[in-house]
Structure 1
Amino acid sequence: MTVTDGRDLWLRRFHPAPDAPVRLVCFPHAGGSATFYFPVSAALQGDSDVTALQYPGRQDRRSEPNVDDIGALADRIAPVVAPLFDRPVVFFGHSMGAIIAFEVARRLEVQGHTPAMLFASGRRAPSTRREENVHQRDDDGIVAEMKAMSGTDAQVLGDEELLRMVLPAIRSDYRAIETYGPVDAAVGCPITALVGDDDPKTTVPEAEAWRAHTTAAFDIRTYHGGHFYLSPRAAEVIALIRQTLRGTAAVG
């Protein structure tokens, strides 16, 4: 599968840094898009070449079919990300993005590409499972879930036309993550799990279970907040990522 012509569809660089010694690849949550990571990219200018994934079915890719299977999505992303491994690469995924990052890492390891670190944020470990059916709800039920999680721009939730435009992608993402796993595989890169102490989607023990999914080092960081603890705790999380990026660059 050749991806050269289509790579720009998947990868977004808001602050290109082609000469940076390390890359950070960011994977959005369910219903999310690459622009979620714009503030991260802005904050880490000078430390990394920050790249964010743009999944099909949203924003400038909304005319493309949605992908409602994690494995199929990882299969498509892996060859797009592989060329980025001309230097050390760190993965960061939030919620569904953490699982996609993990599955992409599994696929790339087979090709000899191992991330220097995988940050798994706001998501329970692949081997854990809950029975969830948000993707089977009607539109109002999905909107209620989005509001409860506080991860969607209030402007979107208040704009009926825009909301109806993004709902198919959100439903598809929920279907993908809610039908995933359980998976007992492990990767060879270190994993740092990040979790909010009041996250209704991931308990601290469920985040701790990521320990079994790496044959390398494991760490867990707990922050005050819910599923999107990232927003109020952005400075702390970015400081952690920056420390990791600088350490990775120093090792080379």
Structure 2
Amino acid sequence: MNTTISSKPQIYLLHYAGGDKNSFRPLIENLQSYFQIETPELPGRGERMSEPFLENKQTAVGDLLVQIKQTRKKNVPYIIYGHSMGAILGLEICQIMENNGDAPKYFIPTGFPGPKIKKNLPISELPRTDFFAEVRKLGGLSDEVMEIEELLDFFEPLLRADFGLLENNENRTFNGKIQTPIYAVMGKDEQYALNIRNWQNYTTAGCECQIVKGNHFFINQHFNYLAQIIKNAMDTATAKSNNYLYHD
């Protein structure tokens, strides 16, 4: 007897450093007819502006996990997507969700080559001018924003907190492998783009990697394409599940 799932699959969008739950609006517009969109948000921004920033990776993972578990729907398949900081945290979240018996169908990291590759010097404690010079290299803030001191005043504490979270010496290095398939994407102009195949070292399932035109924030020019990758990943996972369930 065939079983049907009445609910759309879920997707969790994990924001990048300096981002919030609204960071992926164009992507959400492309996905909302297909997925139930979930946008967990770390403290110190958006609807959680009054809450203090978190200080290390472990507390950030724990905070996001609470939000994910609150919104997970039983027996509904889901995907975890994360860009940059979201990809770093998302990998650990996948592992924990697997250990809890609720593995995602796919993990889709963008803007990050996987663990043990990036060797950037810490920037969260740099003087203001040097700090924003490093942020500017990533392409996350437009030239217009960079020229308006009031906007820099707004973004500076948030960006410093998020980079500090990732740079904290208390952070544990990810070891082991997840059992979830990975589809990784990076921009051609990113410093570590050619290391993207590193992701295959962190999953026992399939791993696909792609490099597209653009810098660290290539997603701003490729939301339509990224949405198609995500939809195709869920279609592939669903087809595999159906073949497994109904194969004679």
TM over 0.5: yes
Structure 1 residue 223 and structure 2 residue 195: aligned? no
TM-score normalized with structure 2 length:
0.85
Deviates more, 1:189-198 or 1:134-143: 134-143
Report how many residues are paired.
Answer: 232
- 1:176 aligned residue (156, 162, 165): 165
SS in 1 for 2:109: strand
> Are the structure 2 counterparts of residues 55 and 154 from structure 1 closer, same or farther at C-alpha, using a change threshold of 3 Å?
farther
For 1:193 and 1:54, how far apart are their aligned partners in 2?
22
Match of 1:31 in 2: 18
Match of 1:10 in 2: none
Deviates more, 1:134-143 or 1:94-103: 134-143
Runs of 4+ residues over 6 Å off in structure 1: none
Trace 1:193-212 onto structure 2 (pairs within 5 A): 193-200=184-191, 202-205=192-195, 207-212=196-201
8 Å CA contact 2:45, 2:158 repeated in 1: yes
TM-score normalized with structure 1 length:
0.84
Match of 1:238 in 2: 227
Deviations 1:115-159 (A, max 9, x none): 100001111212334142111212222222222212135564344
Q: CA RMSD in A?
A: 2.0
Amino acid at match of 2:124: H
Deviates more, 1:115-124 or 1:150-159: 150-159
SS in 2 for 1:104: helix
For 1:139 and 1:20, how far apart are their aligned partners in 2?
47
**Bigger Rg, which one:** 2
Alpha-carbon shift at residue 210 of structure 1 (Å): 1.1
Trace 1:100-139 onto structure 2 (pairs within 5 A): 100-139=89-128
8 Å CA contact 1:47, 1:246 repeated in 2: no
Alpha-carbon shift at residue 236 of structure 1 (Å): 1.7
8 Å CA contact 2:193, 2:211 repeated in 1: no
> Are the structure 2 counterparts of residues 85 and 216 from structure 1 closer, same or farther at C-alpha, using a change threshold of 3 Å?
farther
Amino acid at match of 1:34: K
SS in 2 for 1:210: helix
Deviates more, 1:108-117 or 1:240-249: 240-249
Structure 1 residue 164 and structure 2 residue 153: aligned? yes
Structure 2 gaps of 5+ residues are 1-5, 243-248
Amino acid at match of 1:49: Q
